[in-house]
Amino acid sequence: MNLLQNIYLLRIERSLGFRLHDWQKHYLLTGELNSPNGRATGKTAIYCVKLALSKEEFKLRDLEKFRDEDHGLNYSRWFRNTFLKIRDQLKANGFKVCEIVQ
């Protein structure tokens, strides 16, 4: 990992307010997902970061379709809210994030 990549990752960590695991950093830089098994491991958080930093444009009503997993009825809404929170944190800290349209 070079200096610019380290700075980029440090800025993301500062924006989110928590440190990233090595596998999350690897995923952001390469797109290769080598996450631990199970729930509450940080997979959704880092997926939301990657999605927010994409150059895509999303319709607000369609965000739930982009969820990474399905864990029942409330997960879609939880995913949408988590994604929007992460996106807003990154945007507030100067990152260029995806557009959300009505």
- pLDDT tens, residue by residue, 54-96: 988 999 988 888 887 778 878 888 889 999 999 999 999 999 9
Mean pLDDT of 40-51: 90
pTM for the predicted model, two decimal places: 0.89
pLDDT at residue 20 above 80? yes
pLDDT of residue 36: 74
pLDDT at residue 51 above 90? yes
pLDDT of residue 75: 86
Q: Distance between CA atoms of 98 and 66, rounded to whole angstroms?
A: 13
Angle (CA) 4-93-64 rounded to 5° is 105
Unique residue bearing structure tokens 């997979």:
43
Whether the CB-CB separation of 28 and 12 falls below 8 Å is answered with yes
pLDDT at residue 49 above 90? yes
